[in-house]
């Protein structure tokens, strides 16, 4: 790794840190712009509670001072304060509880999307212009042209309400099958298209012909020469894919009643639980930024030919 | 020709003789020269998928505009609720081509009643017109959001690309940060907050009819979604402004505004059109996503996304109410995407290589 690559990585890390800071700042000031302040629900809470909250969070202090307190609480202690609507629970508790379920859901969906996407994309490229190729492409186009929540509802309707194969409630392991499939379909379709086009590109290269001419077996050419290089562009999609899965899980968890971070986030939007909205936004945003950072750095490190800047 | 004539300064008069017919024919243009636009159009017409999607888009758009004008039902009229009469629940949850009690009586009396093609919803509103109206709302959200993105992205991108130097550096760092913000989360956050902040602000104005959610949706698009458009425009302008004809224009004293408007932007037009066309389906997606979270258009106004998410409550009993808007939304998004891809192939041949 040369110094240019190191500089690039350093720059990317700085940008990521800056982005997280911007997210925290936007979240803070935007929620302060709400009439009545972030700790005010639609139904007025008792005056004693309001006073206690205000004292605890220093809402009587100037905005900038509140901002520095919030920032330092979030950065140093990862403390997002108490939830407004779920009394006696801190935002941290709710998030860490939900994150366990959601991580399982999201990672399974990501693995399925990557595995099936690469296989389908390579098959489509190798069997170019056959019925198999057309079928795969039609399927993946259909998958990206339907919003995730509609797809999820269809799967729910078909497989649990009509056929009864899996439970409609996502609290059990069997109930997680449909949410995982719903989440993975759209990224899988994107990876399929990406793999297909880069595979076609690689298969036309000279070194593939050379390898074939040398008498390397067909399978070895595909796996060792073609696939290895065709997968490099797929790396760039890992960041956006995880961002999609994180935001997609918000609706999927609501449809299938999975007790994850997404469902509590959607709930907090509906009942205006501002500390929970703020906390979840910051946590999810940080996750997405870090994933994007890793996928960008990985991309440059894996392929040294790529021009930095 | 003798040597004397070769050295003579007199012009050879033979060179100035009128052209013969054979020579004239040689100069005739075989066919009229084609412009960039015509050339692209020709390529686009050859692409069958793009042509079909184009007609689907036109058909859907026209019916979304025209049908509500003469349809006997309106999107927010609860058919069972009439002033001065008790609420008639027989109009609620009608299956396709079924009628409410009073309508059946009128039919027995020999009157003709316009059918409810898709039935009615839980509040007794004609579902067909709600879907048509929802398509209208979704399409206009997509269109206007893309327009906002286009205007902002174009302005910022061309300024950054043309000015270069420090201006470019500052703008591009801002773009970098906005680009790496998780857009969906920011949209949810901003819509949630704008919803309560804007309600009092727009009360009593024209904007109130549009609804808080719709306005916050547009604001959010204006704040966040212009970045990729402005990046593309900037890149295009950066490469264009090094061209000789820009130097020539500058040498003749053309002001910066003239060069941007007359020389640089017309050459970016294909990039602009393509990314705007592909922006529309993504805006429709975003709207439907927000509708599902309860942050989309305001009730009783329907959008395809809000119709689909409303249908989830009675999913088991009335699956058709989910299927219909779902098909509509997929059809619109699919044909817009395919048409956008066709546009790109036709008008940006450089991308194909």
Q: Tell me whether residue B189 is exposed, middle or buried, using C-beta atoms within 10 angstroms of its C-beta: 0 to 12, 13 to 18, 19 or more.
A: buried
Task: Please answer yes or no on whether B188 and A288 come within 8 Å at the CB atom.
Answer: no
ipTM reported for the complex surpasses 0.95: no
**B227 at the A interface (CB within 8 A)?**
no
Note whether B188 contacts A: Cβ–Cβ < 8 A. Answer: yes
Interface membership of A150 toward B (CB under 8 Å):
yes
Do B290 and B188 contact (CB within 8 A), yes or no? yes
Instruction: From chain A, pick out residues whose CB is under 8 angstroms from the CB of B322.
Output: 150, 153-154, 157
Residue A113's closest CA among A181, A51, A173, A39? A181
Q: One digit per residue, pLDDT tens: chain A, 309 residues?
A: 677 788 888 888 988 888 888 888 888 888 777 665 555 554 556 677 777 766 766 666 777 877 887 788 777 777 777 776 676 778 888 888 888 888 888 999 999 999 999 999 999 998 888 899 889 988 888 888 888 888 888 888 888 877 878 777 767 777 788 889 989 999 999 999 899 988 888 888 888 888 888 888 888 888 888 888 888 888 888 888 888 888 888 888 888 888 888 888 888 877 777 778 888 888 888 888 888 888 888 887 777 666 544
Q: Kindly compute the dihedral angle of the four CA atoms of residues B179, B181, B184, B186, in this order, to the nearest 10 degrees.
A: -120
Inspect the interface and report whether the beta carbons of A19 and B312 lie closer than 8 Å. Answer: no
Q: Does A138 touch chain B (CB under 8 A)?
A: no
A259-280 b/e with 16+ CB inside 10 Å = b?
Answer: bbbbbbbbebbeebbbbbbbbb
The angle that helices B265-292 and B320-347 make with each other, rounded to 10 degrees, is 170
Q: Which of A122, A194, A184 is nearest to A155 (CA)?
A: A184
- Dist CA A233 CA A29 (whole Å): 38
Q: With an 8 Å Cβ cutoff, are B329 and A16 in contact?
A: no
Per-residue tokens: A34: 């709400």
Q: Do B197 and A33 touch (CB under 8 A)?
A: yes
**How many other CB atoms sit within 10 Å of the CB of residue A207?**
12
Q: Report the interhelical angle of B127-163 vs B212-224 (nearest 10°).
A: 30
CA distance B323 to B119: 13
Nearest to A252 by CA among A159, A139, A170, A163: A170
pTM: 0.79
């Amino acid at each position: 790794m040369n110094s240019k690559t190191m500089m690039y990585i350093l720059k990317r890390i700085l940008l990521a840190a800056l982005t997280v800071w911007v997210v925290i700042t936007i979240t803070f000031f935007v929620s302060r712009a709400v009439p009545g302040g972030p700790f005010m629900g639609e139904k007025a809470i008792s005056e004693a509670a309001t006073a206690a909250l205000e004292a605890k969070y220093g809402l009587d202090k100037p905005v900038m001072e509140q901002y520095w307190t919030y920032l330092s609480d979030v950065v140093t202690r990862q403390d997002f304060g108490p939830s407004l609507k779920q009394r006696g629970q801190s935002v941290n508790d709710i998030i860490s509880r939900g994150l366990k379920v959601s991580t399982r859901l999201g990672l399974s969906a990501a693995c399925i999307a990557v595995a099936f996407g690469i296989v389908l994309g390579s098959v489509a490229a190798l069997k170019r212009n056959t019925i198999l190729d057309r079928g795969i492409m039609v399927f993946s186009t259909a998958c990206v042209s339907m919003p995730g929540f509609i797809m999820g509802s269809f799967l729910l309707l078909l497989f649990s309400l009509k056929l009864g194969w899996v439970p409609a409630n996502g609290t059990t392991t069997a109930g997680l099958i449909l949410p995982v499939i719903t989440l993975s379909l759209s990224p899988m379709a994107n990876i399929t298209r990406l793999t297909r086009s880069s595979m076609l590109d690689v298969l036309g290269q000279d070194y593939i012909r050379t390898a074939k001419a040398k008498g390397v077996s067909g399978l070895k050419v595909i796996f060792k020469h073609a696939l290895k290089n065709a997968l490099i562009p797929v790396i760039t999609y890992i960041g956006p894919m995880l961002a999609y899965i994180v935001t997609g899980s918000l609706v999927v968890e609501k449809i299938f009643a999975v007790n994850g971070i997404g469902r509590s986030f959607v709930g907090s939007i509906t009942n205006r639980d501002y500390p929970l909205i703020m906390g979840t936004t910051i946590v999810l945003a940080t996750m997405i930024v870090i994933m994007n950072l890793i996928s960008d750095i990985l991309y440059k490190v894996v392929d040294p030919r790529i021009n930095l800047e | 020709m003798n040597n004397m004539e070769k050295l003579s300064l007199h012009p050879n008069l033979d060179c100035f003789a009128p052209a013969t017919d054979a020579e004239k024919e040689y100069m005739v243009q075989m066919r009229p020269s084609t412009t960039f636009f015509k050339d692209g159009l020709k390529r686009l017409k050859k692409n069958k998928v793009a042509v079909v999607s184009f007609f689907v888009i036109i058909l859907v758009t026209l019916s979304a505009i025209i049908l509500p004008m003469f349809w006997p039902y309106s999107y927010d009229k609860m058919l069972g609720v009439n002033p001065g009469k008790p609420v008639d629940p027989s109009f609620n949850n009608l299956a396709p081509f079924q009628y409410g009690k009073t309508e059946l009586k009128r039919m027995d009396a020999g009157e003709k009643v316009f059918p409810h093609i898709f039935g009615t919803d839980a509040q007794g509103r004609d579902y067909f017109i709600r879907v048509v109206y929802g398509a209208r709302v979704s399409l206009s959200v997509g269109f206007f959001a893309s327009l906002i993105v286009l205007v902002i992205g174009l302005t910022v991108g061309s300024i950054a690309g043309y000015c270069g130097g420090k201006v470019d550096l500052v703008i591009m760092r801002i773009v970098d940060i906005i680009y790496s913000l998780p857009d969906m989360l920011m949209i949810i956050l901003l819509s949630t907050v704008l919803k309560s902040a804007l309600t009092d602000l727009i009360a009593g104005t024209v904007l109130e009819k549009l609804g808080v959610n719709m306005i916050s949706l547009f604001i959010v698009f204006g704040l966040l979604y212009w970045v990729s458009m402005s990046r593309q425009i900037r890149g295009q302008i950066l490469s264009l402004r090094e061209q000789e004809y820009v130097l020539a224009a500058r040498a003749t004293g053309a002001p910066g505004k003239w060069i941007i408007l007359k020389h640089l932007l017309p050459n970016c037009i294909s990039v602009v059109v393509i990314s705007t066309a592909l922006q529309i389906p993504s805006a429709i997606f975003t709207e439907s996503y927000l509708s599902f979270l309860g942050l989309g258009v305001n009730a009783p106004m329907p959008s395809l996304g809000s119709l689909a998410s409303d249908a989830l409550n009675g999913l088991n009993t009335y699956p058709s109410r989910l299927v219909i808007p779902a098909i509509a939304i997929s059809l619109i998004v699919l044909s817009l995407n395919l048409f956008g891809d066709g546009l790109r192939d036709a008008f940006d041949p450089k991308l194909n290589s």
